[in-house]
Amino acid sequence: MKKRILIPIVAVGIFFTTVSFKSDFFEIAKQIEIFTTLFKELNMNYVDEVTPATLMDKAIKGMLDDLDPYTVYWNEQQVEDAKINNSGTYTGIGAIAQSRKDKIIIVEPYKDYPADKAGLKAGDEIVKIGNITIADLQDDAGELLKGTPGSKVEVTYKRQGKTATTTITRDAVEIKAVPFYKLINNDIGYIVLSQFNRKTTTETKAALVDLKSQGAKKIILDLRGNPGGLLSEAINIVNLFVDKGEVITTTKSVIEKYNQVYKTKFDPVDKEIPLVVLVNGRSASASEIVSGGLQDLDRAVIVGARSFGKGLVQRPKKLTYGTQLKVTISRYYTPSGRSIQALDYWHRDENGDPVRKDAKEYNAFKTKGGRTVYDGGGILPDIELKSAVYSPITTALLKDNAIFDYATKYYYSHQLSDWQNFKFTEADFQDFLKFLKANNFEYETETEKKFAEGLKIADNDDLSKDISASYNQLMAAIDSAKDKAIVDKKVEVESLLTDEILKRYFYREGLYNYQIEHNPEILEAVSVLNDEGRYSKILK
């Protein structure tokens, strides 16, 4: 018998009150009434059995799809995951894991945490948790790995074609906002800031004070790969280096209450110490507030590659039954007035993709000291380096897990005793190219997409037979150009491979120690800090 689903009148009434401040109240009420009657009739009359929850999930997804990708619906579990990310502490196995269709891939086990102690390594494929086969599950199998501290769970995993089992004893896991800091060259403090959670300012300040006590007279703040987090923590990080009362960011919205000016509230730890900030294409959101604020206030030299370009602010709004809507409420602007948002989700091209501002349309702004900076998406570094860039080909390699999978292959075919002597050689790079061929690595360029669309149009015009030979020749030429593109971006690719490989042997601690001595962005930061004239010239 079909289930009859009715929307509770009380719930609708509550929704009305939350939106009643809107001037278009009647239109909203009208559309809700249309939707509820449609939803009821669909559930009562559709020819096949339908699941109300599934229909509603699809309806919500469809409603949000045409907005920006940061406005999302969270179910109860996703709400809990967000709380964990912001708190920096959870109970589990202590590893970054990726759920796939029929398995869970261990991406990175944290040193000395449960998964690591149980012998799991990056690249291991968990196929069974307890007596439950992951391929048989419809829900997120990762939930089965969670549990109370001290509880045990047996997992079956595959490694290099062989199946094995191990028992993991769950424990509390602390996600450090500052996973690494160190004094280098006797007078430069190096701080890695990996995320903006509630512990970010406390950990960063402690690292800064400790490094200064060790003799640090200059600082490198590494925000590469930092996806962002809490806005308040970003403001407070800038506050460590600038005076109380400085405007760090301004938010603007069509809703007046979300128009805010965020200023520093505390006395700084050190407003004079020379500072370099590292960013790349995966530095986003709060990372861009920090780097943009410090750049606009002429307080730091920015080194690396243009940041991601996320200039939108979200706020969670509680819904019923423990769910939430994370909704974009405003855009934020740097102290000079720049918007760093890269994509315009409210204006889309003929394919429905958000429009990116053309470089010719970038607007100029002035920093506090009169330097010229530009908007147009992301924070453009004062010193740009190729090694920090994520081009389309390297992005495709990451998305396809080609870098990750090759690092797994490398780990089980090479012996490394220490990070100091590691070198990704030309022979290794050639082996990586062979690996891509053997594993049929492919990615589609924008050029290919456009030509494919043209071929479809030609087919509609009955021209496809006449041009198919030329089209195939063209695709072959593009394939050849794509192979060349990987070689042309060798510096980027080698940098990513080096990082992933070193983590396999020496965890993040070994990776950071290696980067201090070999990474081009860090070496450039050291060079700038050691050249007082160059440092001052960039900022003035």
**Catalytic (active-site) positions:** 285, 296, 310
Is residue 393 within 8 Å of 489, Cβ to Cβ? yes
Give kind and range of the element (H or E) at residue 343.
Answer: strand 343-348
Give Cα separations from 18 to 15, 29, 264, 289, 351 (angstroms): 5, 12, 32, 31, 35
Among the residues of 355-401, which ranges form H helices?
392-399
- The three-state (H, E, C) secondary structure of 173-240, written as one string: EECCCCCEEEEECCCEEEEECCCECCCHHHHHHHHHHHHHHHCCCEEEEECCCCCCECHHHHHHHHHC
Q: Partners of 72 in the beta sheet? A: 326
Place of tokens 């280098």: 184
Q: State CA 32 to chain mean position distance.
A: 35
CB atoms within 10 A of CB 195: 23
Phi, psi torsion values for 382, nearest 5 degrees: -70, -30
- Which amino acid is located at 427 in the chain? A
As given in the structure block, the two tokens for residue 256 are 């007046």
Is residue 214 within 8 Å of 269, Cβ to Cβ? no
For β-strands 89-92 and 95-99, DSSP reports them as unpaired
Cα–Cα dist 62/150, whole Å: 42
Give kind and range of the element (H or E) at residue 314.
Answer: strand 312-318
